[in-house]
Amino acid sequence: MRGEFGDSSAQNGISRRAFLEGGAIAASMAALAGAGLVSLSGCSQEQEQQGTPEAPAVDAASAPSYEVYNADICIIGGGLAGMAAAIKAVDEGKSVIIVEKSNHGFGGAMGYNWDQFINFVRDDLPWQESTDFVLNELTNQKIEKGSYEHWMGEDRNLMVRYENMGYGLLDRNRETGEIAPLLDFPTIYGIYRGFSRHQADYITSLGIRILDQTLASDVIVQDGVCGGVMGVHVPTGTFRVVRAKATICCTGASAWLFGWDTVAPRSINSPDNTGDIDAACFRHGVPLEGSEFIQCDLINIEPKGISCSFQGGIGADSGCCEYICDKDGNYFFQGMDYATLNKMDFTRIIAKNIAEGHGTENGGVYVDFSTPEAFAKIGETYIRNIQLWKEVFGIDVEGMKLECGLEAYERSGNPITDGELMVEGIAGLFHTRGGGFSGAQGGSSVNVAPRNGSYAVANAVKYIEGLTLPALDEAVVTAEFTRLFSLFGNSGGKRPQQVRRMIQKACYQALQPMRMTDQIDAGIAELERIRKEEMPNMTLGDTSLVYNTDWKCAIENINLLDLAEAAAKAAKFREETRGHMYRVDFPEKDDANWLCNVRNFYNDGAITCEKADVVTV
Amino acid sequence: MKISVQKYDPSVDEAPYVKEFEVEYRQNMTLLEALVAINDEQEPIVFDYSCRGRTCGRCAMALNGQPCLACVTLVSENGANEVTALPGFPIVRDLIVDKSMMNDRIANIMARQRAFPLTLDEINAPVDPVIYNKMDPLEHCARCGVCVSACPTVQLMGQKEYIGPAGMLAIGLRYYDPYDQGDRVVEAVQNGLWNCIQCSTCDEVCKALEIDHQVIWKDLRAAAEARGLVKKA
């Protein structure tokens, strides 16, 4: 079974398989006692209140125990970047451990079993002449060049790569069985029917060690060098330490902070997408870059239960432009050359319309499917949901005006890295979405993430050559252990879920694509209030160590709040309109002042912004 | 609206117990929305979800005894809403079950068996459209376990005697797969092909609406029969 210990007889030395280094390790308890960690009982709250104490699972009177794993390379996040990273590490003969928050294969966006559009740059044009998916005026060119040139020639072909990982048949003509790409040009190729869970199966078949259901909460940093990652195994509440010579962060976007409806933010992101390691780097003093940028799609916002999820939802893209109208029935795209609209322009035009007061009740627009011509334009991804809506909700989309909103499917705001994706100031820690990499696009993509994962590991392999990891500083482990377990000690405050909703709503106010300065200010003020008033006594409603989702939520909230405040302040700082967002009081793109990136700095809990030049080659 | 939820912490509780809640009903309210509302506003209940659209499979549980995905199942304003963990799987906590055995078996089946890597020419070659049209819908299986939980054969014999519809579907996918070179017919029989009673319960509970399980079972049975791999009386 995945997530179990390895062969405990393989105690030392570097084997191809990662192994369990040791069992319980004593650590200083002074810090724990000081943190007011009195009794972390395995008994339920009710029993505690009834005065029937159980043997405490963790107690100030006994040493904290934790598991230690060891590998050459530790990968945080088992999605598309993480899996490509793991495969590269195995190819290079390195031992590797993947730490994944959910069940392996079911986490994050990768764990949605959705029809991914596989597209890739086909040619070996020089990087700056290519039509790469992230290249724009604010992209970090050193990273882009390095990553782009990492896969040349046949390596570029994601179709061959994925088919050899067991992907099924990619899109075919249903009458002839001929392969049916949507894009088939000399420079670019794109085809539907990529189901990435096959890749998770492939990873399983390689026997790669996966520590799943494990929330990675911090990286181990000693004297500016990263020696792995720490976190909690959620089903058991066990503290875990993974020691590694190189650590690769592959944790995706962090758009779970982007508002809240009834089951999700206004985002397609997964509850796993809380940017834990981004926030950890930020607290370690690494600036974040690109926090103000998001990438949006247009997707249904009613029925609320499936809103902003194109898995079950129905939306529209620029192919549907002429059928999009505002609340007054004004088809505001008509007359534009929408055949050439890119996604950023598409989103921004809608945001402008909503910001100017033409939005629907829920802050969206309508996609008018009332004619057969309009309905015929419905996107490939949504077709399978038409029947679902009829069956579950009794709603027939054909012929109706569908209310849709702008959801953030991607966002950036990542720690800055050098051109080889190594995090600035933390040697041995690599990040597959280095700050500024996506520029004004506001995110990576399913097609660039794997390349960056592989590129990061290629660089990590060079870095660890001849490297010896220093002895583990137990004070580092104890500090993180204490930080996490002391969350059990609070009382009298709001539950983490309540605090989470406040963070999400305040963040949305500031970060929504319709950027209004009074809303941004209100969002920032609320986030600062939450930090001051709600966080110090955020109180768990559950004291069990077994699958404690209150605890998990509380740990993630600390991260989400840091990222939300950084994003809100960066949104305020950028006084222009660019990318997917429309700033009402600065409605024009202002290259004279803003052809630059924005960096967030974190000093003693204060988050500030500064301009940073675009990194050029 | 009244809703009762099964709670259980195996580390302390003797057995699962049920707790009743009152939730404000809205039109089109899904079970997932009701659970989030309770957990946000009343008290902790432990459950998992991710995609909100029947593709990740993480919110599988049972409503009034019927296995379902909470994200695409509606609650009833005035009727019974009794929520339990997905039947047939070990409970980790409240509504979280351990599906690792099922998931591991499916992952092992799904890994393609093939002697040599595929070339671009092989990938670009046309395939039999009949095969494509049969194989393609199976990609939408979310491996949620709802069909396995609802399957009367699994309930009667266990997952060892019959792997359950999700696992058999995985075998079917690779059986159709023109690039796979494994003996998937033997694998199907080995995993209980002949123990399935073809009752169609899997088709009734599955929310990947394009999947027709019975077609797969028929094709696998015909292939097994042609090779004499039939169950001896």
Give the tens place of pLDDT for each residue, A166-175: 999 999 999 9
pLDDT for the residue numbered A605: 76
Band the pLDDT of A15: cuts 50, 70, 90. Answer: very low
pLDDT at A10 over 90: no
Question: Is CATH 3.90.700 what the domain over A295-408 is classified as, yes or no?
Answer: yes
Q: What is the mean pLDDT of residues B97-103?
A: 97
Q: Are residues A194 and A168 in contact, defined by beta-carbon separation less than 8 angstroms?
A: no
A494: Cα within 13 Å, side-chain hemisphere: 17
Q: Which pair of tokens denotes residue A429? A: 């820690």
- Structurally, at CATH architecture level, domain B2-97 sits in Roll (3.10)
Q: Which pair of tokens denotes residue A613? A: 């030049």
pLDDT for the residue numbered A317: 84
Q: Which residues 346-375 in chain A show a CB within 8 A of chain B?
A: none
Q: For A386-425, how does the pLDDT look when each residue is reduced to its tens digit (9 = 90+)?
A: 999 999 999 999 999 999 999 999 999 999 999 999 999 9
Q: Does A48 touch chain B (CB under 8 A)?
A: no
Question: Which residues in chain B are closer than 8 Å to A40, comparing Cβ atoms?
Answer: none
Could you tell me which residue, A125 or A522, shows the higher pLDDT?
A522
pLDDT for the residue numbered A63: 62
Q: Which residues 142-161 in chain A show a CB within 8 A of chain B?
A: 157, 159-160
Q: Which residues 248-277 in chain A show a CB within 8 A of chain B?
A: 262-264, 270-272
Specify burial of residue B228 (Cβ count, 10 A radius: 0-12, 13-18, 19+): exposed
Closest-CA distance, B29 to chain A, in angstroms, reads 7
pLDDT for the residue numbered A337: 84
Domain ranges (residues) in chain B: 2-97, 100-226
Q: For A74-87, how does the pLDDT look when each residue is reduced to its tens digit (9 = 90+)?
A: 999 999 999 999 99
pLDDT for the residue numbered A130: 87
pLDDT for the residue numbered A606: 92
Residues B172, B174, B179: CA angle, nearest 5 degrees? 145
Could you tell me which residue, A34 or B23, shows the higher pLDDT?
B23
Interface mutation target, options B8, B11, B96, chain A, most CBs of A under 10 Å: B11
Check CB contact under 8 Å for B126 and A179. Answer: yes
Please report where in the chains the tokens 């190189």 appear, as a residue.
Answer: A246
Q: Which residues 384-423 in chain A show a CB within 8 A of chain B?
A: 384-385, 387-388, 391-393
- Which of B113, B112, B61 has the alpha carbon at shortest distance from B84? B61
Could you tell me which residue, A564 or A443, shows the higher pLDDT?
A564
The fold of A491-612 is: Methane Monooxygenase Hydroxylase; Chain G, domain 1 (1.20.58)
pLDDT at A41 over 70: no
pLDDT for the residue numbered A61: 42
pLDDT at A610 over 50: yes
Q: What is the mean pLDDT of residues A115-139?
A: 91
- Which of A380, A309, A106 has the alpha carbon at shortest distance from B51? A309
Check CB contact under 8 Å for A392 and B104. Answer: no
pLDDT for the residue numbered B71: 98
Q: What is the mean pLDDT of chain B?
A: 97
Question: Which residues in chain A are closer than 8 Å to B12, comparing Cβ atoms?
Answer: 42-44, 47, 54, 544
DSSP string for A508-570: HHHHSSEE-HHHHHHHHHHHHHIIIIIGGG---S---SSS-HHHHHHHHHHHHHHHHHHHHHH
Check CB contact under 8 Å for A392 and B13. Answer: no
Could you tell me which residue, A125 or B127, shows the higher pLDDT?
B127
Q: What CATH number is given for A80-292+410-464 in this structure?
A: 3.50.50.60
pLDDT for the residue numbered A57: 46
Band the pLDDT of A380: cuts 50, 70, 90. Answer: confident
Question: Which residues in chain B are closer than 8 Å to A200, comparing Cβ atoms?
Answer: 107
Name the residue in chain A with its Cα closest to that of B120.
Answer: A160
Give the least confident one: A269-283, A308-322, A386-400. Answer: A308-322
ipTM of the complex model: 0.97
Check CB contact under 8 Å for A304 and B28. Answer: yes
pLDDT at A267 over 60: yes
pLDDT for the residue numbered A542: 97
Q: Which pair of tokens denotes residue A102? A: 């959910």
Residues A600, A601, A607: CA angle, nearest 5 degrees? 85
Band the pLDDT of B233: cuts 50, 70, 90. Answer: low
CATH value of B100-226 in 1.10.10.10, 2.30.40.10, 1.10.3720.10, 1.10.1060.10: 1.10.1060.10
Domain ranges (residues) in chain A: 80-292+410-464, 295-408, 491-612
pLDDT for the residue numbered A340: 81
Check CB contact under 8 Å for B71 and A305. Answer: yes
pLDDT at A110 over 50: yes
Q: What is the mean pLDDT of chain A?
A: 89
pLDDT for the residue numbered A5: 34
> Which residues partner with A528 through β-bridges?
none
Q: Tally C-beta pairs within 8 A across A and B.
A: 225
